[in-house]
Structure 1
Amino acid sequence: MKILTVHSLAVHGTASLKAIQSMLGTRILPVPSVYLSGLTNIPGVVKTDVAFKEVLTSTLEVARARNEQIVWFVGYLGDPQQAETIRELYQEYRDISLGMVVDPVCGDHGKMYVPEEILQAWPRLLEVADWALPNFTELKFLSGHPDLSISEPGPYLEQFQAKYPDLSFIVTSLDNGKLMTLELHSPNGSQTFKHERIEAQYDGTGDVFAAAFILYFYYLKTAPAVAMEQAALTTMHTIRNSRMRDSDDLVIPGTMQMY
């Protein structure tokens, strides 16, 4: 089994494809949605488009020829048309596809940081995905709720579930003061996990969480709630390790990094 990973590839910073590959290694089939000279919050970053449909289609053809079974993971979209391309190819290659996990990257800390067209494209993938991993800001924007000033997640959760009744999802970054809460919702019920808040801000923590969740759920076959808890603990450990090293970027030990 391989994880077909559609995400941005940034040169500077630790996030997106770099973070996922550091976590999952050769388990992934990386397909860049866009090339960036650095993370989008770094001044002067240059964006370079890719031949996305051609690369993704060829990757899937090779996977089929090699009898690979794949789980799709979709993160940052380079343009809104990519959502439609992914949806079409997901249906075309269902014979080798075990499921789809999406991290609907569009915002954080109460603000949207992608064009409106990208936000409007995400429902096309949320309609066919098995799992979604939005943070609280993304839940707000994607719920379609008209009032984005509500501090409690309840109204957004209700509207999001009504829009995507068959989707299982985990909402991250629910701030409860000294604690952070994750909420797992699925057609089978809901569960929560609370952990201490770490006073540190790093890009890429959502990617670490997603990679760890995929590892525990799809590879180690743990229950969803266990995978959520272990992914949260892995993310906390990564943040602590990065802070201990006084690093500006996340420090994710690779397979050859033994110290």
Structure 2
Amino acid sequence: MATLIMQSLGCEVAAINTVQLSNHLGYGQARGFRTTPSEIIEIWTGLNEAGLGDFDMLLSGYLPDEASIESILHIVRESRRIHRLKSPDRLFWMLDPVMGDDGRLYVSEAIIPAYKRALQHADLILPNHFEAEILSEVKIFDIETLKTALTTLHSQFKVSHVLITSLNLMYPGSDDASLFVAGSSMKSDKTPRVFLVKIPKIDCSFSGTGDMFSALTLVRFREAVCEIPGLTQTNHWLSVDNVRSIDLPLAKATEKSLASMHEILTISKTSRDIEMTEYYNKIGGVEAANANESASKNHRAALAKAAEVKISRNLQRLKYPIKMFKAIEI
């Protein structure tokens, strides 16, 4: 999904799959295999040998184990070393620390220290609420604890930009029908500049929305940075201290990325509802969908298929979303 999105927005992408699966795990079953850490480095080495290693940005998503994280760190270090020999620009790394959600880990706890070691090398991280709590070791439930977590990530781990998704916060205007995304680009003293964006929930279980958001954000962030003369030449693309949080390139990128996502996910949800109505009519109703183990298995697969995110059919909405969200300064 991330590759399609970045290519649709004009990026030349070289993708290295960390897993090669028949389908996403929302179907309840999959066949395939993991790309080993040595294979990841082998593919990257081949890109460099072919003269294709002059990347401006690196986006990393799901990494299954500690060794895979170390392989990405090797690529980051070597890419930056090569960059220094050829260009004044520095490889920008966006790290999506995929570990879990809703209080549950998808991976072994052993991976957490590896991610913490990686943070100091990343320019921008995109944890969700649960992952941000794991990395910062701060329980986030209101604005003050959010600021504490962001301060920890900026000062202790030296992460320049942080964007936290799927936040449940006690904040004026919060309700059960909405979530928040919070972001910050640190000042020179490593204190946060915090903004919030409130977004409505969509009552549908999608797979791949994390990849979708990270890909959109990276491209839109680069666009916003390029609009400011000289910013691409600064370390970590950090704005000067007097730039307000809501005027940061990260805030602008977040607003635009969320608008694209909301439009496409709303369309995808409508399509899901139509497909599932047809499915239930075909099998004899909702009760028949879970009549036995085999029916339940087929039902889960039907739900997953119907809820596939409809990106390729809606590229214009991806590229040119209607402005609908505005960042709030905290």
Q: TM-score range by the shorter chain?
A: 0.7 to 0.9
Partner of 1:251: 310
- Does structure 1 residue 212 correspond to structure 2 residue 194? no
Correspondent of 1:195 among 190, 195, 199:
199
Q: Specify every segment of 5 or more residues in structure 1 that has no aligned partner in the other structure, as ranges.
A: 1-18
- Counterpart of 1:48 in structure 2 is 33
Q: Which residue, out of 57, 65, 73, partners 1:71?
A: 57
Q: Which has the higher helix share?
A: 2
> Which of 90, 98, 108 is matched with 1:115 structurally?
108
- What CA RMSD, in Å, does the superposition of the two structures yield over aligned residues? 2.7
> Quick one: which amino acid aligns to residue 85 of structure 1?
S
The answer on whether the counterparts of 2:96 and 2:127 sit within 8 Å (CA) in structure 1 is yes
Q: CA deviation at 1:127?
A: 1.4
Once residues 54 and 155 of structure 2 are traced to their aligned partners in structure 1, the CA distance between those partners, rounded to angstroms, is 34
- Give 1:63 deviation, angstroms: 4.1
For 2:151 and 2:94, the matched residues in 1 are separated by 21
How many Å separate the matches in 1 of 2:32 and 2:134?
24
CA pair 37-115 structure 1, distance change in 2 beyond 3 A: farther
Task: State the 1:139 CA deviation.
Answer: 0.6
Counterpart residue number, 2:135? 142
**After superposition, where does 1:15-164 map in structure 2 within 5 Å?**
19-25=1-7, 27-63=12-48, 65-66=51-52, 68-94=54-80, 95-96=82-83, 98-145=91-138, 151-152=141-142, 153-154=145-146, 155-164=148-157
How many angstroms apart in 2 are the aligned matches of 1:231 and 1:205?
Answer: 11
Offset of residue 231 of structure 1: 0.9
CA deviation string 1:66-125 (max 9, x = no partner): 463331111100221111121122112213352100110011122211111223321122
Q: Distance in 1 between matches of 2:46 and 2:265?
A: 38
The code of the aligned residue for 1:205 comes to T
Partner of 1:226: 252
Q: Is the 8 A contact 2:206 2:308 kept in 1?
A: yes
2:92 corresponds to which letter in structure 1? Answer: G
Structure 2 CA distance for aligned equivalents of residues 182 and 139 of structure 1: 12
Out of 239, 242, 249, the position equivalent to 2:268 is 242
What displacement does 1:40 show? 3.4
Deviation (angstroms), 1:51? 4.1
Distance (Å, rounded) in 2 between the aligned partners of 1:109 and 1:77: 19
Q: Tell me the number of residue pairs that the alignment of Structure 1 and Structure 2 aligns.
A: 237
Residues 125 and 85 of structure 1: is their aligned pair in 2 closer, same or farther, counting only changes over 3 Å?
Answer: same
Give distance in 2, aligned partners of 1:129 and 1:76: 15
TM-score by length of 1: 0.80
Measure how far apart 1:254 and its partner are: 6.0
**Closer/same/farther in 2, CA of residues 113 and 55 from structure 1, 3 Å limit:** closer
CA distance in structure 2 between the partners assigned to 1:230 and 1:257 by the alignment? 13
Q: For the residues of structure 1 that align with 2:40 and 2:72, how far apart are their CA atoms?
A: 12
Asked if structure 1 preserves the Cα contact closer than 8 Å seen for 2:5 and 2:216, the reply is: yes
Say if 1:37 and 1:121 are closer, same or farther in 2 by CA, change over 3 A: farther
Q: Distance in 2 between matches of 1:240 and 1:32?
A: 28
> In structure 2, how many angstroms separate the alpha carbons of the residues matched to 1:68 and 1:254?
31
The runs of 5 or more residues in structure 2 that have no matched partner are 84-89, 169-173, 188-192, 228-248, 273-305, 318-330
Q: In the superposition, relative to structure 1, how do residues 117 and 90 fare at CA in structure 2: closer, same or farther (>3 Å)?
A: same
Q: Distance in 1 between matches of 2:64 and 2:99?
A: 11
Name the SS for the 1:198 alignment partner: coil
8 A contact 1:87–1:124 mirrored in 2: no
| Mapped contact 2:60–2:95 kept (Cα < 8 A) | yes
Whole-angstrom distance in 1 between the partners of 2:314 and 2:259: 20
Q: Contact 2:185 / 2:250 at 8 angstroms: preserved in 1?
A: no
